[in-house]
Structure 1
Amino acid sequence: MSTHAPNEARVIPLRPQTSPPASGAAPRAPQRPAGAPSAPAPREPLWRDLVGGVLRRERLAQERTLKDVAETARISMPYLSELERGRKEASSEVLAAAAKALGLGLGDLLSLAQDELARYAPSRVGQGRVGGGRTSPTARYDGLCLVA
């Protein structure tokens, strides 16, 4: 049997309560173990996030609604919304239909997404491959290779 009133909500903290600092004392920052990184390194974005962002920006730039673009592309409006938010991994047929509905070719859509990816990717100058898998300090490759 419970000891609290039936209409009273109980709050269960997700983090353990810490004792308040003594009056006049400044609160202390949590201590990290020695050798721990200060902040996690930023991750490269997922391809579906990049493509979805391009689709959304293009649609908004044309001042079109999700419904309009989805009907033109012959895909469902909720599915197009999930593509734009990076929640779904679309097939090449769906991407081509969405791009065409926005007046783009599939290559245009992928090129715009690749440009976005290039902004996040660290510089890879001097890390290109030369025949036989050897690395050449002078080789450079700034493109993105998609293999089907």
Structure 2
Amino acid sequence: MTGNEQAVVGGGGPRSRVARKENALRRLAEDGDVWAATADATGVPCLVPLAFWWDGEAIWLSTRPTNPTGANMAATGQVRLALGTTRDVVQIEGTVRAYTAEELPDGVGDAFAAKDGWDPRTSDGRYDFYRVTLEVLRAYGTVPELAGRTLMRDGKWLV
């Protein structure tokens, strides 16, 4: 358990919103995978873990465009992401733009591969990339942190 998780679980009181923002940014920089939730046009949900890279402004994901997650993100332009544990949650709602490997901005593919050690561009079959622009970010641990859990709204930090 990390120090932040211990503080939440150990009853040290709710973390400040500033501390939760710092923890969310640390998770974006350091965590290896994120849970990605999408839905198709009929509302059928799909939840999968994906490797990701945070470029300081947006989250980059990669999956096959034919997988439900890739198809849903391309069709709806929306995704919900979750980092952390049930006692240290970072939830993100974002808008998505899809890129083929050939369309990637300079440096994105290399940075993505360097973070995780996996390069979708060299995998068998086609993998697309998905740039997630953060619209809403919530961070909380237990019930005392539910109040004030929204730290970003409309893509702007509230803290």
Same fold, judged at TM 0.5 (above): no
User: Whose relative contact order is higher, 1 or 2, with alpha carbons under 8 Å and at least 6 apart?
Assistant: 2
TM-score range, shorter chain: under 0.3
In terms of Rg, which structure is larger?
Answer: 1
Q: Which has the higher strand share?
A: 2
Q: Which has the higher helix share?
A: 1
Task: Compute the TM-score of the two structures, normalised by the length of structure 1.
Answer: 0.24
